[in-house]
Structure 1
Amino acid sequence: MSATETAIASAEAHSAHNYHPLPVVVASAEGAWMTDVEGRRYLDLLAGYSALNFGHGNRRLIDAAKAQLERVTLTSRAFHHDRFADFCTRLAELCSMEMVLPMNTGAEAVETAVKTARKWGYRVKGVPDGMAKIIVASDNFHGRTTTIISFSTDPEARADYGPYTPGFEIVPYGDLTALREAMTENTVAVLIEPIQGEAGVLVPPAGYLPGVRELTRERNVLFIADEIQSGLGRTGKTFACEHEGVVPDMYVLGKALGGGVVPVSAVVSSADILGVFKPGEHGSTFGGNPLACAVALEVIAMLRTGEYQERAAELGDHLHRELGLLAGGGAVEAVRGRGLWAGVDIAPALGTGREISERLMEERVLVKDTHGSTIRIAPPLVISKEDLDWGLDRLRTVLSA
């Protein structure tokens, strides 16, 4: 067997089949390119689902990690360390907020947001104990913990994991009337993605996010924006909410915050909201560890220049123009997205999203499918226009074949 076949066979034999990866085995990567165990190079148009916004092996991030590795990597939150205050301060400033609660994974951050909203509802809003309700949107993706999949509408994510956690109400994404009707005096939060990534990069109707902001203010309800995929430069602005001039009560961040080097996530909000926690009421051994803070501080410094947001906006305009031309030719039914992020609905007659992804892999381009015939395109923000065009040419080749 080849090196690729051997590695895949071993993985299939000894790891749980919770993912269905493409049959490529990556050995190294730099920028927007990955190289497999047999020396073949592939253009990465997925970027770790936006965790690699700054590319593979970004020198600034690797240097920051190496320097911190030589000093201290973990203290737990039992003690202070010298990177923690700077990380919290700089991230709060980036978000124009006051306080940060650091965790590790995106799902942990969403769980933290849920706990925050409920505690705020009982301690501040005065909701009767055990009655707090959080409204979410259909087709959401916020993670895979038991509580989070309890409010998923995806059968693959939800089936066979009951009994499910109560306290959530699901309304159609983009529907302000349904949201208004679902609100009661016990509603403590609305948790939504400003752009739904896993659902196929769904952008809500114009005016939806401002409408959510207005409704939540009127009803004394927290607006929680899950910007784990959409935030930190992906859409051409630091946060996707900015495209409609909206500031939520709480950001949930992850993925790109760790630069593809270490897992880093956080909930960022006001002191009135995050101030509901007292020592011992919530925590994480690795949350806010020195290594994570060092890398995240460099990510924040890079975002403060605005160059990555500007690059995502400019290249994103080019990406959507080119994909829009494909949408008129019969092979592509629809294109959605914002910045360097697109969901492309392939005509079912040409194949499933998985089949198109496999054909693109043969052309040395890596993307991933979702929901039947949709593929997602989300290259590292550092990709060159020439490499992006090369990848789009390969997509045209696959679709024309």
Structure 2
Amino acid sequence: MEVMLADMVFALSDAVDLVGVDDDLHGKRVAVMAAECGRELGYDDDRCARLLHAGMLHDCGVSSTRVHQHLVGEFDWVGSQAHCVLGARLLADVPALARLAPVVRWHHTHWSAMPAELDPELAHDANLIFLVDRVDALTAPFYGAPDYLMRKEEGRRTIAANAGGLFCPDLVDAFMAASRREAFWLYLERRYLWRYLHDVAKRGLATDIDLAGLRQFALMFAQIIDAKSPFTTEHSLGVARLALYLARRLGLDDATCARIEIAALLHDVGKLRVPDSVLEKPAPLEPGERAAMLRHSFETYQILHWIGGMEEIALWAASHHEKLDGSGYPFHLAAGELPLPARIIAVADVCQALVQNRPYRAPMADAAVLAELHRLIVAGLLDRAVVECVEADLAPCMAVARGEGLPA
């Protein structure tokens, strides 16, 4: 199994931008502005492509909507370095993206505080991402307004006033020159933004990644997802471990087991769009909050099914809240439409959630988990054969779900 590296980068960018909830284009706008400034500076295609990809993924260390609100709501924020460090670590662990890690690591560092030992090219690229990231924080509230092109001037003045302190003067000059053009700003509108990205962003990404490389990407996604809340720490990793364990116990072939693990790692990517306050609420959800939760598995599907070659994995991942009687969501698939891998992930998801601490209840003991699984079988919601596999190996399964053991 192979997928295009470009498709994975776009999917990762889509996932990261979900954290904006009502504004899911921040990273892409930063990417386009960085590339346009790079062209103004006369950078070659490879460097402009690196800027574009770094812009798309610069906030990969942000999972929390609270942190995101700080980053887009405040021009300079004292806690900003934490997500830079995390994002750089995540990128460094994926060989195909490792060259972006230094840019992301320093993209909230003031020019006057940039480490002297850092390669000058990387320092300039990181500072350029910082500059256009702040431009987007200043101007995003006005996108789409009738006077949008007039409102940009205040942001340009703010950037110019911070030359030499926050931003490299040469980069400020390039931004001021590029942003005089109306096209610079009109590229940022949704319909034009997508055209720009699809024309430019695949440069430098026209390679395939194999199943092992895909797993590296999935692990990166999972760490971003699981950092969303202290109540979801290692949830995706736990579901993936248990789903893989069960798939092997049920005798599925190695290739299918590997794809099930990847689907399980990715199953909750859509939760990045759910506000922290909803995930961490200790009381029953209001209708609007419930609606936010109901859409998360469809968001997962939308991100994953556009990756060529991952259509089946996308369905398995997005079906973790489907029920055998057709009462689940988001597609209301019934038993005959749910393949075994989707059923395995659904059971693994329930098990891991029940053994994990949640805002509305404490972790459940093994016997209580099994009783709940049997209740869901009787209600016609979960697959009996998969649950019986858990029951036949209960202690090891629960240990795997808690992260106390690994699949054999």
- The two structures have a TM-score, normalised by structure 2, of 0.28
1 or 2 for the larger relative contact order (CA 8 Å, sep ≥6)? 1
- The two structures have a TM-score, normalised by structure 1, of 0.28
Task: Give the strand-richer structure, 1 or 2.
Answer: 1
Task: Give the helix-richer structure, 1 or 2.
Answer: 2
Structure with max Cα Rg: 2
